[in-house]
């Protein structure tokens, strides 16, 4: 599996501002706990979580397509991401790690 990393640096002090990584869709999980939605995914040897509000639209669109392929009714909160046509040539999700939180490998996931 190949995961590309793109670093963007501010022009002052060479500090990392954004760290964009590509994660294959099939490695990203939607987690719903206590009325909160987030995605959880591995990157390198670590696991991360990202709030639903920060989750890229590409993931949401692919997630809705995945639900439809399984014959699962699309929940109302996902209806905005339902598309008639979706391009699946590239199913990687670009995620900004600076908007994520590193989590322990034993992080509780909803079932």
Alpha carbons 24 and 13: distance in angstroms, whole number: 32
Strand partners, 93: 23
Contact of 9 with 66, CB cutoff 8 Å? no
Largest CA distance in the chain: 51
**For residue 13, what pLDDT is reported?**
35
- Phi/psi of residue 6, nearest 5 degrees: -120, 120
Strand partners, 43: 46
| Confidence label for 110 from pLDDT (cuts 50, 70 and 90) | low
pTM of the model: 0.79
- Average pLDDT for the chain: 84
Asked if pLDDT for residue 111 goes beyond 60, the answer is no
């Amino acid at each position: 599996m190949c995961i590309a990393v793109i670093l963007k640096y501010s022009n002052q002090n060479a500090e990392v501002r954004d760290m964009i990584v590509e994660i294959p869709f099939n490695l990203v999980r939607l987690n719903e706990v206590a009325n909160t939605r987030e995605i959880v995914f591995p990157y390198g040897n670590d696991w991360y979580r990202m709030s639903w509000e920060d989750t890229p639209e590409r993931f949401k669109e692919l997630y809705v397509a995945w639900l439809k392929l399984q014959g699962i009714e699309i929940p109302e909160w996902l209806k905005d991401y339902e598309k008639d046509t979706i391009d699946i040539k590239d199913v990687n999700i670009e995620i900004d790690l600076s908007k994520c939180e590193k989590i322990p490998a034993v992080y509780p996931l909803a079932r």
